[in-house]
């Protein structure tokens, strides 16, 4: 039985459609395979490289199992993912990485920031960006932060860290490896002692550290301050500001020292400088209010203290300051 011309056309059309669907399916499957294998040659050409040296905060692409083992061997503690489980291929990668991190004794954190080549997909992108930065600021050990390629989402988190006053030294190491890890170890020990008000012990722990670091300077300065050694505190805070002239923690400490030394005008300027970089910083607002009190500008002081109490209604100390500001 022979087919008519129209029948041959119909057969050819159906064949083309079927073949197109098969090719489309193969293409989709191949694309998915590539996406869930970031270590493949098809992705490696486009991504950034895993850092050669691990710092307190290291940035890069999705890590291989070998990368995670290397990170652990270098003293790493936290793996911070910016992948988003709402993207199917990233959900697969998150589950794989969580398992590998746990096997290596690493702590896995995920702050979902879905984007494709820096085009944000969901509305909570910026909230997660801020949460990631806040976590990194307070993390008590080295962190490896990554997105998919290590080029877009990690840069937004790094920019947020800059806005929050985290020093670039956290991710731009200087000195030798041994110097860096001595600094990290001593700093972690000193922070624990500081949280328990053991200020003399803090200074003892930090005494061997010669490598310049804004966090060491701030911790030294605040320990001297709490011990009432204001001149020594000023020297420590100023040494931190030589490294990073706009570092909020050292600026804040210097401002409080100036207040204690009877320089409320200079103190108020430093508090304002902190607030320009970290708007709403509570300690800076309280200090600004105290500077206004010292300058006998009670209405301004009361205005600032009320602002603080709107943020922190149970702050008994600020309530007392407000009573002083409201008094005739």
Q: Give the pLDDT mean for 94-98.
A: 91
The two beta strands, 107-110 and 57-60, are unpaired
* 14 is a domain residue: yes
pLDDT, one tens digit per residue, over 180-234 is 556 767 877 888 899 899 999 999 999 988 777 788 899 999 999 999 999 999 9
- Average pLDDT, integer, range 239-252: 87
Domain limits for position 27: 1-35
Confidence (pLDDT) at 307: 92
Core vs surface per residue 192-230: b (16+ CB within 10 A) or e: ebbeeeebebbbebbeebeebbbbbbbbbbbbbbeeebb
Domain termination residue (choose one: 135, 170, 205): 170
- CA separation for the pair 33, 20 (Å, rounded): 20
Average pLDDT, integer, range 99-118: 86
* SS3 category, 57: strand
Question: pLDDT confidence of 47, banded at 50, 70, 90?
Answer: very low
Residue 143 sits in a domain whose CATH number is 3.90.190.10
Of 302, 245, 312, 309, the residue nearest 276 (C-alpha): 245
User: Is residue 46 scored above 50 in pLDDT?
Assistant: no
- Using CA atoms, how far apart are residues 106 and 103, in angstroms rounded to an integer? 8
Task: Give the chain's domain count.
Answer: 3
Share of the chain above pLDDT 90, in %: 38
Domain contains 1: yes
**Burial of 314 (C-beta count, 10 Å sphere; 0-12/13-18/19+):** exposed
Measure Cα distances from 141 to 63, 80, 174, 186, 297 in Å: 18, 12, 18, 12, 44
**Residue in 90, 155, 47, 93 with CA at minimum distance from that of residue 145:** 155
CA distance 87 to 311: 37
Statement to judge: residues 288 and 322 lie in one domain: yes
Beta strand 115-116 pairing with 119-120: antiparallel
Cα radius of gyration rounded to whole Å, the chain: 27
pLDDT of residue 45: 37
Per-residue pLDDT tens over the stretch 253-275:
999 999 999 999 999 999 999 89
| Alpha helix positions (H), the chain | 5-35, 41-44, 65-73, 88-103, 125-138, 153-163, 177-195, 199-206, 214-226, 230-243, 248-260, 264-277, 282-294, 298-311, 316-326
Quick one: pLDDT at residue 33?
38
Among the ranges 34-48, 75-89, 146-160, which has the highest mean pLDDT value?
Answer: 75-89
Whole-number pLDDT of residue 81: 93
Domain shared by 240 and 321, yes or no: yes
What is the pLDDT at residue 35?
42
Q: Which DSSP category does 148 fall into?
A: S
> β-strands 107-110, 119-120: how paired?
unpaired
Measured CA to CA, the distance from residue 318 to residue 149 in angstroms comes to 47
Average pLDDT, stretch 295-317?
Answer: 92
136 and 270 both lie in a single domain: no
Residues 184 and 278 in one domain: yes
Rounded (5°) CA angle 100-104-105: 115
Same domain, residue pair 241 and 280: yes
**Rounded-to-integer distance, Cα 328 and Cα 325, Å:** 8
Same domain, 235 and 295: yes
For residue 227 the two structure tokens come to 């011990």
Same domain for 13 and 82, yes or no, is: no
Cα gap 40→290, rounded to integer Å: 59
Q: Are residues 184 and 285 in the same domain?
A: yes
Residue 42 has pLDDT above 80, yes or no: no
């Amino acid at each position: 039985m022979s087919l008519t011309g129209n029948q041959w056309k119909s057969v050819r059309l159906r064949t083309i459609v079927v073949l197109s669907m098969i090719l489309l399916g193969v293409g989709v499957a191949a694309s998915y395979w590539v996406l869930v294998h970031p270590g493949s040659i098809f992705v490696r050409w486009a991504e950034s490289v895993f850092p050669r040296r691990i710092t307190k905060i290291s940035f890069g692409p999705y890590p291989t199992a070998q990368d995670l083992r290397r990170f652990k061997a270098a003293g790493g503690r936290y793996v911070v993912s910016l992948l988003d489980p709402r993207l199917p291929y990233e959900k697969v990668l998150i589950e794989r990485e969580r398992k590998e991190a746990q096997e290596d004794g690493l702590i896995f954190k995920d702050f979902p920031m879905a984007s494709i080549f820096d085009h944000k997909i969901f509305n909570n992108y910026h909230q997660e960006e801020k949460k990631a930065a806040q976590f990194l600021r307070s993390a008590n050990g080295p962190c490896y932060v990554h997105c998919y390629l290590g080029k877009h989402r990690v840069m937004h988190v790094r920019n947020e860290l800059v806005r929050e006053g985290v020093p670039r030294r956290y991710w731009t190491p200087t000195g030798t490896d041994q110097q860096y890890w001595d600094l990290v170890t001593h700093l972690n020990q000193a922070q624990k002692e500081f949280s328990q008000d053991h200020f003399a012990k803090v200074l003892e722990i930090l005494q061997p550290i010669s490598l310049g670091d804004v966090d060491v300077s701030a911790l030294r300065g605040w320990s001297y301050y709490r011990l009432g050694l204001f001149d020594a505190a000023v020297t420590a805070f100023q040494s931190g500001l030589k490294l990073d002239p706009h570092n909020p923690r050292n600026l804040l400490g210097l401002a409080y020292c100036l207040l204690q030394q009877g320089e409320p005008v200079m103190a108020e300027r430093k508090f304002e400088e902190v607030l320009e970089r970290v708007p709403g910083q509570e300690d800076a607002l309280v200090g600004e209010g105290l500077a206004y009190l010292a300058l006998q500008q009670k209405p301004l002081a009361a205005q600032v203290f009320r602002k603080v109490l709107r943020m922190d209604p149970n702050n008994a100390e600020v309530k007392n300051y407000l009573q002083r500001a409201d008094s005739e």
